[in-house]
Structure 1
Amino acid sequence: MKFETRPKTAMRLLKYMKNGFAVGAVAAACLLASSASALDDKMTPITTPDQPNAITLNTGPLPGATAKEAWHSQYGSVFARNVTVATLTPFLPDPAKATGAAVIVAPGGGFMTLSMENEGWQVAQALADHGVAAFVLKYRLNPTPEDMGAFEKSMAEMFSGAARPRPPAQQDPAAALAPQIADARAAFALVRSHAAEWHIDPDRVGMVGFSAGAMLTLSTALYGQDAKPAFIGDIYGPLTAVDVPADAPPLFIALAADDPFFANSGYGLIDSWKAAKRPVEFHLYEQGGHGFGRYKKETSSTGWFDAFAAWLGMHGYLAPKK
């Protein structure tokens, strides 16, 4: 797969991932800063869950990776890390209520972990309940220490800033996300190749992502070539300005005003979409922190999914195409 870039936009995205976003990368480790105290924040290793419906994508193993995929529980959810082989797990609606629309769901975790339950399976099931086929993308991740204790230590150092990585000089800014974008492109190709079997209209396949997954979703829309999502959702991802193509898909954004990572950097992404005269909807919740996903919280941010579903309905994706 070839990978094309828009240099200015890619550089801005890379700045988030390589400079400050490495801390936001472990948003799963500090999500719900305002109300997570009621949830267990301890990282507890668990056996890899059964994923009988997961389909291996054709992007191959992550080059140079040596650590085995590992899973842990935290905050009442489950997380995967050291993912070296990408998979796609379908959540298909009852054929009697299928609308023909589909969404690829990209969990977050800073390209170091994936919040598979809170930002993956639960979101996909909720979409399927609305008649929309959903597919959880377990994309390849940057390596982390295989030992859980060493992993926790590296995260603590990351928060302290002592081990914050710096971008290599002259690095192609888009190369940092190339494996993940390849996984997303393969996911779109797989879904469309099974469109008839899964009762999907290949022209009505979109993508929604959370935090790092939101970065991947936006990058897929901008640089994914053949992916061409019909619509995209950016849930608590960075809102830096980008160069928006004339055919950019409709964009839905949800963010909490107290998000510790992305709430204080302006709203350039929204301005970019508006300047390009492309559809954009933005929900800024007063409270919610980062990583609220499908967690039950006493903040209005919990309503983001209902707002997203209503937005899908407004664009005609909650009913069969006429």
Structure 2
Amino acid sequence: MKGITKPTLEYFRPAPDKASGAAVIIIPGGGYGVVVYNGEGVNTAKALAEKGVAAFVLKYRLPSDAIMPDKKIGPLQDAQQAIKLVREQAAQWGIDTGKIGILGFSAGGHLASTAATHFEKSYVENASNTSLRPDFQILIYPVISMQDSLTHGGSRDNLIGKNPSRQDVELFSNELQVRMNTPPAYLTHAADDKLVDVDNSIAYFEKLRRLKVPVEMHIYPKGDHGFIFRHPGWMEPLFAWMKQNNWLKN
């Protein structure tokens, strides 16, 4: 999908007898140029709902000078708004306000990690002062950095422009934005990813580990970018991690 001017959040509800109280907001990838809505979004949401997790697929606005005063924060506004909405509606949807996570693929992983490291500043109207901090983050072959040596060029050009300031490069290089209160993370990537270098996940892992943020990482030797379409069992270790942290029922 491209040309998205109105963000949406599609809800996939777990069966009441399976519901664990956890919720995950899913952010599909697409280099900040398109949104891989069905392949990464809907399919993942159905698999999570099947396991008892309330799943929400975010169709976010793509960075655009035409519809945004500041295109760098447009997608982040949509991610924050989604977290805010799910947290504020949690009671009526049977969701535990302390179990709301975010999951992103590729450039959607950049957006998810941005939401997980920039939550102290609200980019949306938040008079109720609702917490915008995800309780956990799940990043699948994510773009993490905007630095020349690591970034995915297309994602960077689309988000912060072809000649970004040093300040913007650092602000949106999320490995530089990790703090001790960054949410626990699950990372997975393929070592032979030719589009988004696995060093994005490794740099983020290192930073989280050094600051003692709980983090688990799974690296497949092969599978390239978009490996979820070639590794049908890729969610099994993720479900095990979610069970261990009580986000899934045992």
Common fold by TM > 0.5: yes
Give matches, 1:1-322, under 5 Å: 80-142=1-63, 176-225=71-120, 226-240=131-145, 241-263=175-197, 265=199, 267-293=202-228, 295=229, 297=230, 301-319=231-249
Q: Deviations over 1:215-263 (max 9, x none)?
A: 0000001113331000001100135432321111111111011111233
Number of aligned positions between the proteins = 206
Could you say what secondary structure the match of 1:81 adopts? coil
Task: Give TM-score scaled by structure 2 length.
Answer: 0.78
On the 8 A contact 1:177/1:216 being kept in 2, the answer is no
Identity among equivalent positions (%) equals 38
Give the Cα–Cα distance (whole angstroms) in 2 for the partners of residues 243 and 107 of structure 1: 22
Task: Give TM-score scaled by structure 1 length.
Answer: 0.61
**Structure 1: where are the runs of 5+ without partners?**
1-79, 145-174
Please tell me whether Structure 1 or Structure 2 has the larger radius of gyration of its CA atoms: 1
On the 8 A contact 1:218/1:232 being kept in 2, the answer is yes
On the 8 A contact 2:9/2:56 being kept in 1, the answer is yes
Could you say what secondary structure the match of 2:187 adopts? strand
On the 8 A contact 1:112/1:141 being kept in 2, the answer is yes
The Cα RMSD (Å) is 1.8
Matched to 1:230, the amino acid is D
Q: 1:243 to 1:188 in 2, by over 3 A?
A: closer
1:143 Cα deviation from its structure 2 partner = 5.1
1:311 Cα deviation from its structure 2 partner = 0.8
Could you say what secondary structure the match of 1:224 adopts? coil
Q: Deviations over 1:8-63 (max 9, x none)?
A: xxxxxxxxxxxxxxxxxxxxxxxxxxxxxxxxxxxxxxxxxxxxxxxxxxxxxxxx
Give the Cα–Cα distance (whole angstroms) in 1 for the partners of residues 198 and 237 of structure 2: 23
Give the Cα–Cα distance (whole angstroms) in 1 for the partners of residues 88 and 139 of structure 2: 25
Could you say what secondary structure the match of 1:208 adopts? strand
Q: Deviations over 1:69-118 (max 9, x none)?
A: xxxxxxxxxxx111011010000101111100000000000111011111
1:304 Cα deviation from its structure 2 partner = 2.2
**Structure 2: where are the runs of 5+ without partners?**
121-130, 146-174
